Amino acid sequence: MKHLQKLNEFYFEKDEEARLAKSVVTESKKSEALADAITKSIMKIDDSMSYADFALAVGQILRDDYGQHNFEPFMKVLHNDLGIK
C-alpha cells in the first residue's frame, strides 16, 4: 500500500521546509474516520494499551505498508500536527 505517495510528492516539492512551516495540518474526513477506527480497535485489544505498544504498531504499519521513503514526510506531518519543532 502506498497511501503516502501523494503526501510524499506534495511535501517534497520546491521549498518543502517553508511550505511545511507555514502549512496547517487539519484532519480530513478520512483521517478522522481512521482515528475513530484505531481508537475502537485499541479499546477492543486493551483499553489500557501503552504508548510504547501503540508506537510499535504504528512503526510496523509504516515499515510494512508505506515504506521507508515515507518515514520523513510522515514524521514531518505528525510533528506539525502535534506542534513539535
Contact 76, 20 (CB under 8 A): yes
Predicted confidence at residue 63, as pLDDT, reads 97
Cell numbers at residue 82, please?
Answer: 502535534
* pLDDT tens column, 9-68: 555 554 565 555 555 455 688 999 999 999 999 999 999 999 999 999 999 999 999 999
Q: Indicate whether 7 pLDDT > 60.
A: no
Residue 85's pLDDT band (cuts 50, 70, 90)? confident
